[in-house]
Amino acid sequence: MSERMTVRNLAESHRAKVTRPSRQVLLSIMKQTVKLLTLSALLLLPAVVQAQFTFTTNNGAITITGYTGPGGDVTIPNTTNGYPVTSIAGVSVVNGVLIQGAFANCTTLTNITIPDSITNIGSFAFVACINLTNVNVPNTVTTIEDGTFNGCLSLASFIIPNSITNIGIGAFAICSSLKGVIIPTNVNSIGFQAFYACASLTNVVIPASITSIGHDTFAGCSSLASVTIPNSVTNFDSAFRNCTGLISLNIPTSITSIGFQTFYTCTSLASIAIPNSVTSIGQDAFASCTSLTNIAIPDSVTNIDEDAFGGCFSLTSIIIPPNIGSIGYGMFYDSTNLTAVFFKGNAPTNIGPSVFYGVNSAIVYYLPLATGWEATFAGRPTALWLPQAQTTDASFGVRTNQFGFNINWASGQTVVVEACTNLTSPVWQSIQTNLLTTGSAYFSDSQWANYPGRFYRLRSP
């Protein structure tokens, strides 16, 4: 009995000794396991984030080359694997194979946050991200490369950072939801088709740092109503082609040429003043501007190219400067309501075909001392251009105790107003000489009430 008890007690004592350390060890192991699991989870999180991107490492810097995540709201990390993320890759060709930009055609992407560590965003990096609505570009980036956001149909607003100095070719082309753009003062060039077909774009602020607006920069921006161009800009060929909503535009005196199709099919443009700095109007420059009723061409213009005013259905009259030596092919092609073309100089010696094709009522007028004019010009009849007293506008009649009216003629011409009291045996007296500095002058006769009747006529000196 005692022997059994001794054995039992020894067994229990031994079990107790063994059991207690085992629990402590188990608890210790559990604690270590928790630590390992926590560490594993912490390591796993960046691995999941990083797994959304493909990248390359070069000289201790990371370039994001692709995105494989689900889209939506995406944030690019500052660092990956201990290296700074400095670039977002653009389109490239490797061994003859085209490699797309990092986020090209990512249709699930709606928002992208780009960290300050990024200094370069490659060309076409976000091309055709059709559901991208918001993107921030940090001040560490200096250039928006060619086609970077081309075809981002849902991008409604975009803040261009002050660090940007260049906007590349087609950078925002076909961003059809983009409504307004403020171009920072550090930008000195805007590339070809930079905002092409941004159909919702209503306003653009162009800074004085810009010297050239590339071909088709705003072409097809059908909602663009007005643009103010600074005096720093010297060239804007075809920049506003197919801007069907453009109503007004200030052409600065820095512009010397209105080039090929600059305002082609600007169907809402009703009037425009061309400054004296312009010497040339290019092919199709105002063609199909169907609402254009008034255009002032300065005497500085010496060349007007073919089809310049073709299809201007609302244009009824136009004055051609004195030093135009040639008239290009189809200059007034299908401007069907044109009734009067006034030439300030001698007859052009080089006349292209079909100048007045589709124009059936126009008369070509020339000044009394001009040479080379015949009974017809380019198939249209000619007539002497004489000063006209305007008897149907508000200027005609008695105003402030004197009788008067406006006189219209070519700018720079001198008009003498003569008067008599008897048309049966007239004795004409010169009562006022007017220099028409702007093509118009107001005549007034303060003595009209001293006569029972008075008649007036106009003559050039």
Are 322 and 422 in a shared domain?
no
pLDDT > 90: what percent of the chain?
A: 74
Are 339 and 280 in a shared domain?
yes
- Digit-coded pLDDT (tens) for 168-206: 999 999 999 999 888 999 999 899 999 999 999 998 889
Are 454 and 397 in a shared domain?
yes
3-state SS assignment for residue 152? coil
Domain count, the chain: 3
Are 327 and 396 in a shared domain?
no
Residue 87: the pLDDT is 98
| Distance from C-alpha of 458 to C-alpha of 88, rounded to nearest angstrom | 74
Looking at residue 286, which CATH number applies to its domain?
3.80.10.10
Q: pLDDT averaged over the chain?
A: 88
pLDDT at 11 over 70: no
H or E stretch at 49: helix 2-50
Are 301 and 380 in a shared domain?
yes
Q: What is the pTM of this model?
A: 0.79
CB 265 within 8 A of CB 289: yes
pLDDT at 399 over 60: yes
Are 261 and 380 in a shared domain?
yes
Strands (E) across 293-386 are located at: 294-296, 303-304, 317-320, 326-327, 340-343, 350-351, 363-366, 376-377, 380-384
| Distance from C-alpha of 393 to C-alpha of 86, rounded to nearest angstrom | 68
Single out the residue in 384, 407, 431 at which a domain terminates.
Answer: 384
Question: Is 82 within a domain?
Answer: no
Two structure tokens written together for 170: 């087609």
Are 408 and 433 in a shared domain?
yes
Question: Is 56 within a domain?
Answer: no
Residue 402: the pLDDT is 87
pLDDT at 81 over 80: yes
Choose between 52 and 30: higher pLDDT: 52
Are 365 and 446 in a shared domain?
no
Question: Is 295 within a domain?
Answer: yes
Note down the domain range covering 407: 388-459
Are 357 and 409 in a shared domain?
no
Residue 51: the pLDDT is 55
Q: Binning pLDDT at 50, 70 and 90, where does residue 31 land?
A: very low
Are 311 and 356 in a shared domain?
yes
CB 143 within 8 A of CB 110: no
CB 118 within 8 A of CB 86: yes
> What's 215's DSSP letter?
T
pLDDT at 233 over 50: yes
| Distance from C-alpha of 319 to C-alpha of 263, rounded to nearest angstrom | 19
Mean pLDDT within 357-366:
97
- Segment among 48-57, 183-192, 204-213, 363-372 with least mean pLDDT: 48-57
Are 399 and 351 in a shared domain?
no
> What's 159's DSSP letter?
-
Question: Is 319 within a domain?
Answer: yes
Looking at residue 454, which CATH number applies to its domain?
2.60.40
Question: Is 53 within a domain?
Answer: no
Are 279 and 377 in a shared domain?
yes
Question: Is 83 within a domain?
Answer: no
Residue 438: the pLDDT is 86
> What's 415's DSSP letter?
E
- Segment among 17-21, 49-53, 57-61, 443-447 with least mean pLDDT: 17-21
- Digit-coded pLDDT (tens) for 321-352: 999 988 989 999 999 999 999 999 999 999 99
pLDDT at 48 over 50: no
Using CB atoms within 10 Å of the CB of residue 10, give its burial: 0 to 12 exposed, 13 to 18 middle, 19+ buried. Answer: exposed
Mean pLDDT within 251-272:
94
Question: Is 418 within a domain?
Answer: yes
Question: Is 115 within a domain?
Answer: no
pLDDT at 381 over 90: yes
Mean pLDDT within 109-116:
97
